[in-house]
Structure 1
Amino acid sequence: MLPPRILRRLVLAPLVIVVTVFMLVTLPFWLVVTAAASLRLPPPQRRGLRFVWFGMAWLTLESAVLIACLWLWVAGGARHQERHYDLIRWFLSKVYAAAVRTFRLTLDVQEPEPTEEERAARLTRPVIVLSRHAGPGDSFLLIYHLLELYRRRPRIVMKAALQYDPSLDVVINRLPNAFVPRKTGQEGVIEEIRRLAATMGDEDALVIFPEGGNFTPRRRRLAIRRLEEKGLAEEAERARGMDHLLPPRPNGAIAAIDACPSADVVFVAHTGLDDLITIGDVWRKLPFSAHITAKWWRVPAAQVPHTREDRIRWLYDHWEQIDAWITAQRLPVGEKGPQAGRAG
C-alpha cells in the first residue's frame, strides 16, 4: 500500500538525499569491491562497474531534482509548470548522457522529413502519442524526445506505485498527469485519459501505451484468448498475425481522440532492448553497447477516422505496420526490405 503523501515527503525524499551522500562518500569502496568481484566473471558478464557508476549518477540527479523542487516550493514556484518541465528536461538529458557514456547507448529515430505546412502544424496542435510498450526505459526515452527534440509538454497516466520514486512523485504531481491505483478499473483509467486529453493546449502531448504492458508470449496468448471470449474474431485473427506486439486496447485511444478531436495522432515503434524486461534481464543480458531504433508516424487530425469501428480497424492497421517494421529491423542489414525504411 502506498504511504500517504505527507509521509513520502518527510521520509522517502530525505532518505534519497541521505543515501546519495552515503554512496558518494563510500564510492571508492563500492568501485573496488565491484571490480574485484567482476574479475571472477568472463568479460561479457563484467557489468558491475557500469551499474554502480550509472546508479550513482542516477541517485545524484534524483537528489538534485528534489533539492530544486524544495527550492521552488520555498520560493513560491511550486505551481509554475514551465519551470518543472525545464527541470524534467534537464534531468532526462543528464540521465540520457550518462546512459550514452556508461552503456554506449545510441538512439536512431527514423522520421520522414516534414513539409513546411507539417512543420508549422507541429507547433500549433496538440498530439496524442500511441506507443509500443516494450523493454525498460521506453517511457523515459519517449518523454525525453518529446521534451527535448519536439519541445512538447507530455502528459501520461501512470501506475500509482511509481510514486515510490520521490523525484517522480514530487515533480509529476505538480503537473497535469495522473497516477492510478493498482485496483483502478479500466473505466477509471479511461476517465483519467479523457480528463487529460480534454484540457490539452497546442504544446501538449498525451502519451498512451495501448498494449497495457510489456510484450511476453504468455501475455500475447492471453490477450488473444480474451478477444475470442468477447466474440471479437476479426481482432483476434489480426492479433495472431503480430509476432512482436500485444493487441492494442482501443478504449483509451478512442477516449483521448473524442476528448481532443483537434489533436494529431503519432504512432511510435522502437526496438533494440526488447528482451530486457526485468532487472534480472538487464543484469544478465545488457550488451556492452546498446542501440535503440525508433520510428514515428504522424497522422493529421483530419485523417483520423470518425466512427468507433473504423478507428479500431485503423488502430490495428498501424499496429500491424509497427509489427512489420520491427520484423524488418531484426533482419540482417542486407535482407531488410522496403518496409524498414518506408515513411508510412
Structure 2
Amino acid sequence: MLPPRILRRLVLAPLVIVMTVFMLVTLPFWLVVTAAASLRLPPPQRRGLRFVWFGTAWLTLESAVLIACLWLWVAGGARRQERHYALIRWFLSEVYAAAVRIFQLTLEIQEPEPTAEERAARLTRPVIVLARHAGPGDSFLLIYHLLAIYGRRPRIVMKAALQYDPSLDVVINRLPNAFVPRESGQQRVVEEIRRLAATMGDQDALVIFPEGGNFTPRRRRLAIRRLEEKGLAEEAERARGMDHLLPPRPKGAITALEACPTADVIFVAHTGLDDLITLGDVWRKLPVSAHITAKWWRVPAAEVPRERDERVRWLYDHWEQIDAWIDAQRRARAPADHPAPGPG
C-alpha cells in the first residue's frame, strides 16, 4: 500500500536529502572500502566503485530536484509546466552525463534523415511513441531524448509504486501523467491512456510500452498461451515467430490512436543491455563499457490504418520489424563479443 501523499512529502522527500548529505560526508570511507573489496575480483567484475559513485551522483541530483520543486512551490510556480519540463530535462541530462562518465555509456540512434515536410510536421503534430520495454533505464533514455533532442513534452502512464521515488513523485504529479495502482487492472491503464491522448497538443508525446513489461522467455511463453486461450490464433502464431519481444497488447495503442487521430506514430527499438532486467542482473553482468543502439521509425498520421483489425496487424508488422532489427544487431555484435582465437 502506497503511503498517502502528505506522508511521502513529509518523510520520504526529506529522507532522500538526509541520505544525500550522509553519502557525501562518508563518501571517502565507502570508496576505500569498496576499492579494497574489489581487489579480489578480476577487473571486469570490479563494479563496486562505479555503483557507489553513480549512486552518490543520483542521490545528489534527486536532492537538487526536490529542493528546486520546493522553491517552485514556495514561489508559486508549482503549476508552471514548462519549468518542470525544464527541470526533468536538466535532471535526465545530468544522469545521462554521469552514466557516460562512470559506465562509459554510448548511445547510437539510427534514424533516417527526415524530409522537409517531415521536419515541419514534427513541430505541428503530437506523436504517440510505441517503444520496446527491456533493460535498465530505457524509459529514462527515451524521455531524455524526447525532451532534449526532439523538444517534446512526454506523457506516460506508470506504476503507482514508482511514487516511492520522491523526485519522480513530486515532478511527475505536477505534469499531465498518470500513476496507476497494480490492483486497478488493465482497464484503468487504458482509461488513463485515453485521457492523456485526448488532450495532447502539438508538442506533446504520449509514450506507451505495448508489451506491458520487460521481456523474459517465461513471460513470452505465458503471453503466447494467453493469446491461444483467447482464440487469437493468428496473433499467437506471429508471436511465436518473435524471439526477442513479447507480443504487443494492442488495446492501449489503439485507444491512443482513437483519442488522438491527428498524431504521428513513432516506433522505438533498442538493444545492448537487454539481459539486465533486475538489480541483481545489473550487479552481476554490467559490462565495463555499455553500448546501446536504438532505431526510430516514424509513421505519419495519414498512413496509420483506420480499422481496428488492420491496426492490430499493423502493430504486429512493426513489432516483427523491431524483432528482426534486434536479431540483426545481435548478430552483428556477436563477433566483437566472442572474438576468434588467435593462431596456435
TM-score greater than 0.5 by the shorter chain = yes
How many Å separate the matches in 1 of 2:112 and 2:134?
23
Matches of residues 15-34 of structure 1 in structure 2 within 5 Å?
A: 15-34=15-34
Deviation (angstroms), 1:41: 1.2
The aligned residue for residue 119 of structure 1 is: 119
Deviation (angstroms), 1:334: 10
Matches of residues 187-336 of structure 1 in structure 2 within 5 Å?
A: 187-332=187-332
Q: Residues 38, 333 of structure 1: CA spacing in aligned structure 2 closer, same or farther, 3 A cutoff?
A: closer
What secondary structure sits across from 1:237 in the alignment?
helix
The aligned residue for residue 42 of structure 2 is: 42
The aligned residue for residue 107 of structure 2 is: 107
Could you tell which deviates more after superposition, 35-44 or 257-266? 35-44
Gaps (5+ residues) in structure 2?
336-344
TM score, norm. by length of structure 2: 0.97
How many Å separate the matches in 1 of 2:181 and 2:7?
17
How many Å separate the matches in 1 of 2:241 and 2:52?
41
Q: What per-residue deviation string (whole Å, max 9, x for no partner) do you get for residues 239-283 of structure 1?
A: 000000000000000000000000000000000000000000000
How many Å separate the matches in 1 of 2:51 and 2:332?
30
How many Å separate the matches in 1 of 2:228 and 2:249?
14
How many Å separate the matches in 2 of 1:271 and 1:201?
31
TM score, norm. by length of structure 1: 0.97
Gaps (5+ residues) in structure 1?
336-344
What secondary structure sits across from 2:183 in the alignment?
coil
How many Å separate the matches in 2 of 1:219 and 1:205?
28
Deviation (angstroms), 1:332: 2.9
Which one-letter code corresponds to 1:289 in the other structure?
A: S
Q: Residues 330, 198 of structure 1: CA spacing in aligned structure 2 closer, same or farther, 3 A cutoff?
A: same
What secondary structure sits across from 2:95 in the alignment?
helix
How many Å separate the matches in 1 of 2:10 and 2:334?
57
The aligned residue for residue 88 of structure 1 is: 88
Q: What per-residue deviation string (whole Å, max 9, x for no partner) do you get for residues 161-207 of structure 1?
A: 00000000000000000000010111111000000000000000000
The aligned residue for residue 57 of structure 1 is: 57
The aligned residue for residue 67 of structure 1 is: 67
How many Å separate the matches in 1 of 2:334 and 2:258?
43
How many Å separate the matches in 2 of 1:51 and 1:60?
14
Which one-letter code corresponds to 2:189 in the other structure?
A: V
How many Å separate the matches in 1 of 2:232 and 2:197?
27
Q: What per-residue deviation string (whole Å, max 9, x for no partner) do you get for residues 3-43 of structure 1?
A: 00000000000000000001100000000000011011121
Which one-letter code corresponds to 1:298 in the other structure?
A: R
Q: What per-residue deviation string (whole Å, max 9, x for no partner) do you get for residues 272-312 of structure 1?
A: 00000000000000001000000000000000000000000
How many Å separate the matches in 2 of 1:183 and 1:243?
30
How many Å separate the matches in 2 of 1:303 and 1:5?
43
* Aligned residues: CA RMSD: 0.9
How many Å separate the matches in 1 of 2:332 and 2:222?
31
How many Å separate the matches in 2 of 1:187 and 1:28?
50
Which one-letter code corresponds to 2:221 in the other structure?
A: R
Deviation (angstroms), 1:44: 1.4
How many Å separate the matches in 2 of 1:240 and 1:106?
32
How many Å separate the matches in 2 of 1:16 and 1:5?
16
The aligned residue for residue 339 of structure 1 is: none
How many Å separate the matches in 1 of 2:87 and 2:70?
12
Q: Percent identity?
A: 88
Which one-letter code corresponds to 2:324 in the other structure?
A: A
Post-superposition, which runs of at least 4 consecutive aligned residues in structure 1 deviate over 2 A?
Answer: 332-335
